[in-house]
Structure 1
């Protein structure tokens, strides 16, 4: 705060300082938008795209750490087989990662 006070013009006409303040706020907003908001929106769209592509037979990991295979897909719900005779109904958003056939993991969590 003291730095801002030291940078402020002393006395004289205050009209120019109002304009420079608005320009600074605009610049800060643009930096905030491009550094935080826009990348977050891209990650969210990518996550939604991957979740909508989940289909029967995919092996997944839930956010609770449960491993299983998708046996059924509904609008907002997936059925996951976690044992021989055990199927559990999960919200689609509970899927944290998709296990690929080659052993790699496609993580849906934010980084």
Structure 2
């Protein structure tokens, strides 16, 4: 009376495309994430690597901490940056965020 009857479902023919259609939204979400997040991040990382490889003596740079100066010596992983007259600091290359146009820093 209080419990309804449970009937067995008939076994029908399985649809072969139901598995592919079920995965379609998941694949579509991955493609959208690739083009909106992963691809631009990889492109920016590639540009940053190229910027660091092209770094040379005399370039004016800004670090990720906001320190601006002129490169006086480059090494494999570190560069020496002159931030004031006679004041040089050693900076890890990945900490360099951008290269400024020549002549931007006139006081150094």
Q: Give the TM-score normalised by structure 1.
A: 0.73
Runs of 4+ in 1 over 3 A off after TM superposition: 12-18
CA-CA distance at 1:13 after TM superposition: 7.4
Q: How does 1:4-15 map to 2 (within 5 A)?
A: none
3-state SS of 1:82 partner: strand
Deviations 1:54-95 (A, max 9, x none): 100001111111111000000011000111111100000111
* Aligned residue in 2 for 1:82: 83
Q: Give the TM-score normalised by structure 2.
A: 0.75
* Aligned residue in 1 for 2:46: 45
Could you tell me how far apart the structure 2 residues matched to 1:92 and 1:59 are? 13
State the structure with bigger RCO (CA 8 A, min sep 6), 1 or 2. Answer: 2
Could you tell me how far apart the structure 1 residues matched to 2:24 and 2:13 are? 17
* Aligned residue in 2 for 1:71: 72
Please, what is the CA RMSD of the aligned residues? 1.9
Could you tell me how far apart the structure 2 residues matched to 1:101 and 1:29 are? 43
